[in-house]
Amino acid sequence: MKYEELMKMCIESAKRGEGCVSPNPLVGCIILNNENEIISEGYHEKYGENHAERNALLKLDKDSSKGATLIVNLEPCSHYGKTPPCADLIIEKGISKVVIGMRDVNPVVSGNGIRKLKEAGIEVIEGVLEDECRKLNEIFIKNMTKQQSFVAIKTATTLDGKIATQSGSSKWITSEKAREEVINIRRKYDAILTSSSTVSADNPNMKHKKKIIIDRELKTDFSNANIYKNGTIYVSYNENISSERLESVLRLIKYNNNVNLLPTKVIDDKIDLRDLLEKIYKLGVMSVLVEAGGHLNGSFLEHADKIYQFIAPKILGDNKGLSCFDFRTANLIKEADDFKFEEITNYTPDILVTYTK
């Protein structure tokens, strides 16, 4: 088998850890014997538990692993963290060749794992399907290189870019098949972010482990809104709000340990999204999926790394309908925000268009 085919298998295996390994990267591993037969596989299943290489290697005795080839999408770690260094175990098990998709961008690891392997006499092949490996761990790469949360926006629109009629009717623009894929997308992100307007208008459940609500004036129904009934919730509000209103809300959430108030800077009477993103990164939210109305979607564009736009074959034809990105007026085409199409996937009768900056 070609290394590219095996690396694709590693990538698919790594994806099984989505939603469970943050802030760690997604990693899959395959081990071949001298006859190029797959004798073991593993992936990083949960943060704090064994890395992919360790999961694959511990299934083998030393006789089976001696002289074997190990394929992994990310450079093996070389330091002690939650688990011992994978590079040390690779050496101990007698692996003779390691095929790597990409170097680790974590400065503690980058290049050190490869150097350790080479010094032990192990042949190392780098850069196999590197672009695909980098795409797999785009969240981890941004976290490590910029110390920022990865931001994605999800929206569902008609062909003419509307998310609702002027009266607010929006159920359902896309099909059940498309909505099922939304569940898979949410699973990839540490938190879902929405606005007080969406909470008040739709009263969504948004079942997720972490949720962020932008509620500048703390006006949502903390006692009855569905969104406050599950998960860990951070509510971003104007840090200069009146003490009376703040005390009133604190009384309401006194016995709800899942709700955390997050005072945030305000610029021009709006929550400062840069300040908010810095705060949630410090709280350990490595990635966030924005699911909101057109105004907040538009406000997040300058911070967005990825956009998921589900498009239904419907035309509303109403210039007063609500746009998916309603944030400013451009007089010239050159003022438009530019993005790159990354992928188009069919969820018949709808499509999902994924694009990045």
Q: What string of H, E and C letters represents the secondary structure of 299-324?
A: HHHHHCCEEEEEECCCCCCCCCCEEC
Q: What mean pLDDT is predicted for residues 276-286?
A: 97
Burial class (CB in 10 A: 0-12, 13-18, 19+), 226: middle
Report d(CA 289, CA 212) in Å as an integer: 10
Active site residue 12: no
pLDDT band for position 125 (cuts 50, 70, 90)? very high
Residue 7's pLDDT is: 98
Residue 67: C-alpha distances to residues 51, 92, 97, 203, 322 (Å):
21, 11, 8, 59, 62
| Tokens standing for residue 143 | 């976290």
Outline which parts of the chain fall under CATH 3.40.430.10: 145-356
Selecting among 5, 18, 53, 138, the annotated active-site residue is 53
Find the largest Cα–Cα distance for the chain: 73
Residue 79's pLDDT is: 74
Residue-wise pLDDT for 231-249, tens only, equals: 999 999 999 999 999 999 9
Residue 345 has pLDDT above 80, yes or no: yes
Residue-wise pLDDT for 22-57, tens only, equals: 999 999 999 999 889 999 999 999 999 999 999 999
pLDDT-wise least confident of 73-77, 88-92, 253-257: 253-257
Closest CA to 80 of 108, 52, 56, 100: 108
Q: How many CA atoms lie within 13 A of 177 on its CB side?
A: 10
Q: State which fold the 3-137 domain adopts.
A: Cytidine Deaminase; domain 2 (3.40.140)
Residue 345: C-alpha distances to residues 3, 135, 183, 352 (Å):
26, 17, 16, 5
Outline which parts of the chain fall under CATH 3.40.140.10: 3-137
Report d(CA 296, CA 153) in Å as an integer: 10
Q: What mean pLDDT is predicted for residues 90-112?
A: 93
Report d(CA 291, CA 155) in Å as an integer: 7
The 340-347 sheet, strands edge to edge = 259-264, 232-238, 210-214, 191-195, 287-290, 150-157, 306-311, 350-356, 340-347
Q: What mean pLDDT is predicted for residues 95-107?
A: 95
CA-only gyration radius of the chain, Å? 23
Report d(CA 196, CA 214) in Å as an integer: 6
Q: What mean pLDDT is predicted for residues 109-120?
A: 93
DSSP assignment of 79-145 equals S-SSS--HHHHHHHTT--EEEEEE---STTTTTHHHHHHHHTT-EEE--TTHHHHHHHTHHHHHHHH
Residue 85 has pLDDT above 70, yes or no: yes
Q: State which fold the 145-356 domain adopts.
A: Dihydrofolate Reductase, subunit A (3.40.430)
Share of the chain above pLDDT 90, in %: 81
Residue-wise pLDDT for 319-338, tens only, equals: 777 889 988 788 899 888 88
Q: Per this entry, what is the length of the chain?
A: 357
Higher pLDDT among residues 171 and 11, named by residue: 11
The pTM score is 0.92
Instruction: Give the Cα-Cα-Cα angle 175, 180, 181 (nearest 5 degrees).
Output: 100
Give SS3 for 252.
helix
| Tokens standing for residue 220 | 């949502």
Residue 83's pLDDT is: 77
Residue 1's pLDDT is: 63
Residue 136 has pLDDT above 90, yes or no: yes
pLDDT-wise least confident of 66-70, 77-81, 156-160, 178-182: 77-81
What residues have CB less than 8 Å from 167, skipping those under 6 apart? Answer: none
CB atoms closer than 10 angstroms to residue 36: 9
Closest CA to 152 of 321, 334, 305, 335: 305
